[in-house]
A and B are shown apart, each in its own frame.
Chain A
Amino acid sequence: MPRIIACFKWVMDEADIKADPKSRQLVLDRVGYKISDYDRNAIEEAVQLQEKHGGSVVGITVATPGAKPCLKDALSRGPEKACFVNDPAFENLDPSQTAAILAAAIDGKIEYDLIICGEGSSDLYAQQVGPALAEKLGIPCATYVNKLTYVEGENKVIAQRKLDDGLETVSVKLPALITVLPDLNTPRIPSLKQVLGAAKKPVDNVSLANLQQTFEPCLKTTGILAATMERRRLKFTADPEDIRKVVDSLIKEGVIA
């Protein structure tokens, strides 16, 4: 029966991010937060494996204390317990820090057979934390997995990876780490009962002091600017005259010939 850890990140919803057109600064004061898109697939896969094979699912995240609402959200999706590794210092972490903090919080403290992460986070999309965590823990990993099977009694998983040049099915001895693609499953939408039940599930709070280590960044961000795109934004209707105007313009621009 696999003991599974599902990693997730609480991120700003990129759809809410606005930019000041003059300064190109991001306007973040009205953004909502969500569980990073592909991490929902990671949690869903962990829970589906548990429903099929038994075992356990712990959700783990590294965040600032302000990210507390993420716990109810994650737990309503099925894990029986959460590990909330939080500290005011855990803001704007670089991927190497997140991986090192997760490794410190997991190694020797949580028993596991399988760790599941999303392919990448919706904010940074560095796609580093999964494989870097595996390396820190000294366990094998398979990335970009779109089909996952736990082989009972053999202590291994069979994972199908979807890569640029085709599909690759690999056999991986446990303990191991898998990063998953969104086409692996469809994350469930928690019911009201599950949302209410989530509040009663246990949460382990782990602080920086508990980890007895320091975590220095490797990358330094020297700037963040809104991506600009100078477009004319001309609007037309479906009237034949309007359509003709568009076609004439495209011919004038030399993109139709």
Chain B
Amino acid sequence: MAGVWILAESREPTLELLSAGIDIAAQLGVKVAAFALSSQLAEEYIKCGCDEVMLLPPLAAGQPLESYVPVIVEEALLNGPDIILIGASQRGREIAARAAAALNTGLCSGCTGLRLDQEKKQLVMERMLFGGAAVQTVVCETRPQMATIPPRTFEQAQPAEGHQGEVRQLPAAPPSPVTVVERTPKTSEAVDITEAKTVVCVGRGVGKQEDIALARELAGVLGGEVGCSRPVAEDLRWLPEELYLGISGKKVKPDLYIGVGVAGQIQHVSGIRDSKVIVGINRDENAPIFEAADYGIVGDLYDIVPKLVKEIKAALKI
């Protein structure tokens, strides 16, 4: 089936892309198809508005998910979809890049917004450039038009009353020359930083790992969570990597973001851009965080944070 195709690693991102896909397909007057990894998911996608589900057979033991690339490419060559939207997980990005190369078509990576140009029947897609300093608008001149889309860009599609669709079984993937030797699932941290209403972010200005306690105390009185900048997680390893914010890490949209000793590199600011209110604390009055902040407090964080905690406690009477 031609039309709009959806591919994502798991249920939630598939449903998110499905809602975007349904919208575009309606404007184009075409159908929506999605890939699924189980018949249970296939049924759910159909209930949520999918016209056809392409069911991927289970992989042989030790085969990574990317082994499906040849199957996906083959289906696209046979059916000629207009558009393929792929969830921008890391595996999704690799799958998309390889499929686009095999199909000799264009791929908009990390697409943060898209609309249809009705006249040209073309997607107009936006993405970040230069670590988030600029927004690039692109169109794809070849077919299929492809994009990888980060999680939570769209709301999930909801079940539509009595929606019908077909499930089509795809052939098995050929053996991949890449084999999995070992998997270590991420121990799921209790905290999902993207859900927090208030985020207190630890930057390199915090001198010692134990001083993160200061940020925790501030987050505590605000009922918020502690996040960090990329170097604090990756270079210093003071906090788990799922807590770093930025263009390559978590994107957060809290009501209140407080950067504690965060310099405010563009790559970091891209991840906090959609916060309602941004507060920056830094001793360097020229730190870029002050350009990105509503309230900038210039000074020593070891002096400021305890004062903030005290004032907040007094104001909230806790």
Contact = CB atoms under 8 A, between A and B. Distances in A.
Interface of A: 12, 14-15, 17, 19, 26, 94-96, 99, 122-136, 140-144, 158, 161-173, 176, 182-183, 217-227, 229, 231-238, 240, 242-244, 246-251, 253-257
Contacts of A182: 234
Given A96-B101, A168-B180, A250-B277, A222 B131 contact: no
Given A238-B304, A243-B311, A231 B234 contact: no
A237 B139 CA distance: 47
Contact of A238 (B96, B185, B279, B300): B300
Interface string B142-179: 10000000000000000000000000000000001111
Nearest to A161: B90
A128 B130 contact: no
B217 to A, nearest CB: 15
B129 A123 contact: yes
Interface in B175-224: 176-186, 198, 222
Given A96-B107, A140-B177, 5 more contacts: A169-B181, A170-B178, A219-B138, A235-B298, A253-B276
Given A140-B178, A166-B184, A17 B134 contact: yes
Interface string B38-74: 0000000000000000000000000010000100000
Contact of B137 (A140, A173, A217, A222): A222
B277 A255 contact: yes
Interface residues of B, number: 85
A170 B211 CA distance: 38
A134 B134 contact: no
A152 B178 CA distance: 18
Nearest to B223: A257
A141 B132 CA distance: 28
Interface of chain B, helix or strand or loop or mixed?
mixed
A233 B176 CA distance: 53
Contacts of B108: 219
A225 B107 contact: no
26 contacts: A17-B133, A99-B101, A125-B129, A128-B93, A129-B97, A135-B69, A135-B101, A143-B94, A164-B89, A165-B185, A165-B186, A167-B186, A169-B180, A171-B181, A172-B177, A217-B106, A218-B104, A219-B106, A219-B138, A222-B124, A226-B135, A233-B290, A235-B296, A243-B311, A246-B311, A256-B222
A83 B157 CA distance: 49
B79 interface: no
Contacts of B136: 221, 223-224
Contact of B109 (A26, A127, A169, A244): A127
A18 to B, nearest CB: 9
B215 to A, nearest CB: 16
Given A221-B137, A226-B134, A233-B294, A125 B128 contact: yes
B245 interface: no
Nearest to A236: B297
Nearest to B187: A166
Contacts of A132: 97-98, 100-101
A133 B177 CA distance: 16
Nearest to A173: B177
B120 to A, nearest CB: 11
A184 to B, nearest CB: 11
A176 B293 CA distance: 45
Given A96-B106, A140-B176, A238-B303, A135 B138 contact: no
A248 B131 contact: no
Q: Which of B96, B130, B182, B315 has the most CB of A within 10 A?
A: B130
A255 to B, nearest CB: 4
A95 B100 CA distance: 10
A218 B142 contact: yes
Contact of B294 (A140, A168, A176, A232): A232
A99 to B, nearest CB: 6
Nearest to A129: B97
Nearest to A234: B295
Contact of A124 (B96, B104, B129, B137): B129
B312 interface: yes
